[in-house]
Amino acid sequence: EVQLVESGGGLVKPGGCLRLSCAASGFTFSSYTMNWVRQAPGKGLEWVSCISGNDYYIYHADSVKGRFTISRENAKNSLYLQMNSLRVEDTAVYYCVRESSGEGFDYWGQGTLVTVSS
């Protein structure tokens, strides 16, 4: 059974840092592109970042470029999102998402809440 479990969310002050983790199981982690998607309170889904299975390509949304960094450790079946210079508008539930080639975002974690507030 495919499982994606996020951790690392919490309350942080503006300008602060946080590192999200996603533990994956039930599939060959290194074979899949992984994504982070977020949803701010009362807002829609927003794609944040993606990383290919072999790290060959990495992309970030303009809204987080230069502040957030996606990475992965295939040996540990883990995905990460390092978030620096956090802003109030980064407050959201962050989802770890598996992307199946040509088949979209087929598995989502339950999400972890990040709150940026003074």
Partner 1 sequence: QSVVTQPPSASGTPGQRVTISCSGSRSNIGSKTVTWYQHLPGTAPKLLIYNNNQRPSGVPDRFSGSKSGTSASLAISGLQFEDEADYYCAVWDDSLKVRLFGGGTKLTVL
- Which residue among 46, 52, 78, 84 contacts partner 1 (CB under 8 A)? 46
Q: Are 99 and 39 in contact (CB under 8 A)?
A: no
* 83 CB-side CA count, 13 A: 32
CA distance 83 to 16: 8
User: Does 40 interact with partner 1 (rule: CB under 8 A)?
Assistant: no
Instruction: Return the number of the residue (66 or 102) whose C-beta is nearest partner 1.
Output: 102
Q: Are 97 and 20 in contact (CB under 8 A)?
A: no
Nearest distance, CB of residue 63 and partner 1, angstroms:
10
User: Does 1 interact with partner 1 (rule: CB under 8 A)?
Assistant: no
User: Does 41 interact with partner 1 (rule: CB under 8 A)?
Assistant: no
Non-local (6+) Cβ contacts of 28 within 8 A are: none
Where does this chain bind partner 1 (CB under 8 A)? 35, 37, 44-47, 50, 59, 61-62, 95, 100, 102-106, 108-111
